[in-house]
Structure 1
C-alpha cells in the first residue's frame, strides 16, 4: 500500500460524503472491531477514534479523516483480506496510523474515557 492510496483514503471529503461514511462505520464498526481485537495493537485508540468521529463537536476535517480511516477499517474487501491471520489487518493498521498522525491531538480525553468504558464492558454488536 503506497502513501498516495492512503492519502486518498484519508481525504476529509464533503459533508455528504462524511455522512455516508459515518453510516457505514456505525453499521460495521463493532463487529469488525470484535474480529480485529487480537490483531490491532491499539484497539483503545481505534475505539476513541470512533467516538471522536461520531462527536458533533469534532472539527469537520478531523471527522472526515477519521471517518475515511474507519470506513476503510470496516470495509469487507481491502488490499489484504482481513480474514488472513496476522497480516489481514496490516493495511488497516497502516491507514489508521496515518490518520492518527494527520489529526495529532484531536482525539480528546473524553473520547478515551468512553473507549475505556466500552472496552471494560462487552463490545456492542451495534452502535450506541
Structure 2
C-alpha cells in the first residue's frame, strides 16, 4: 500500500458521509479505528497542513467511508481490519501534523461517542508521541 493507493479514494470523502459513518458504526468499529479517523479528520481541518498531506488524509477517510472495501465492515470481528490498516498507514504518513490540539479534539469526540473510559494508547504509541 502506498499514498497513491489511498488517494484514489478521495472521491468518497465528504463531511456528511464521514460523520454518518462515525455515528452509525462507531460502536461496532471500536475505539481504535474511530480515534484514528478522528485524528485524521481534525488534522485535515488545520489550515497549515500541506495539500499533499490533506490529499492523503482525504483518501484514507474516503476509504473508511467506502461501503465496499476489501473486507466488508459488517463481517464481525474482522470487518474493520482493512480500514484500520489504511487509516494507520495514512496516520503514520501525516504524524508530523498530529499535534496535542488535534489529539485533544479527537479524544473529546471519542468520549462523546464511547464515554469517559476510552483508551487511546495503541494509536498514540503508533504515532510515537
State TM-score, norm by structure 1.
0.71
Counterparts of 1:11-90 in structure 2 under 5 Å?
Answer: 11=7, 24-34=13-23, 35-42=25-32, 43-90=34-81
Checking the alignment, whether the CA contact within 8 Å between 1:9 and 1:69 is kept in structure 2 is no
Unaligned runs of 5+ in 1: 124-128
Q: Deviations over 1:9-46 (max 9, x none)?
A: 323x8xxx96x55xx33112223223144434523232
Q: Deviations over 1:55-113 (max 9, x none)?
A: 33222121111110011001111111111111111111111111112223221211111
Q: Partners in 1 of 2:108 and 2:86 — Cα distance?
A: 25
Unaligned runs of 5+ in 2: 115-129
Checking the alignment, whether the CA contact within 8 Å between 1:45 and 1:112 is kept in structure 2 is no
State TM-score, norm by structure 2.
0.71
Q: Partners in 2 of 1:59 and 1:50 — Cα distance?
A: 14
Q: Match of 1:10, SS?
A: helix
Query: Would the alpha carbon gap of residues 122 and 41 (structure 1) be closer, same or farther in structure 2, given more than 3 Å must change?
Result: closer
Q: Which has the higher helix share?
A: 2
1:122: how far off? 4.5
Number of aligned residue pairs: give it: 112
Q: Match of 1:105, SS?
A: helix
Q: Partners in 2 of 1:104 and 1:51 — Cα distance?
A: 12
